[in-house]
Structure 1
């Protein structure tokens, strides 16, 4: 298994994340099939939330670029961000997508 956590904090701001994503995947080495996936989102809802739809999509799928892209799109559905001085709701959703892709790709690299 491999895991990764990334958060986005604007420069010259307080140490408060605009968005954060933590991912964990367990892959069957012989087939590159994801056996277990967990994706948690931070700062995009009143409390941290899991991206269950993205997790379920990943499990049983091949850990490749296309699958990761689709999982990132699904992770956005779990986000219910607000608009505030640190960023709009749409901006935070885009960050969820980008950070999910990055954390999942880091996990795949760590498993290689």
Structure 2
């Protein structure tokens, strides 16, 4: 079985997972973006989901290491999620694209 290090070195798209839980449910996108140090670097499978009223901010940083364009598909399937907003940030674009 290959190690995580080996998998990361042979895959064409590198993923960096992090999450932040806003227990107050009051923080805006701009506020959360200024608090990157509060994010926990951890796989999304390990997020401590709860029935409490709180917002979960998930960050998925993708880096294409191949010399060609790669297709990426995200599948969000969690019965505990009532509302999902996706922001797509690009290094060349300062403003988020909201889906």
Tell me, yes or no, whether TM beats 0.5.
no
Name the structure where strand makes up a greater proportion of residues: 2
Q: From the two aligned structures, give the one with the greater helix fraction.
A: 1
Instruction: Give the TM-score taking structure 1 as reference length.
Output: 0.28
Larger Rg: 2
Give me the TM-score of the superposition, normalised by structure 2. 0.30
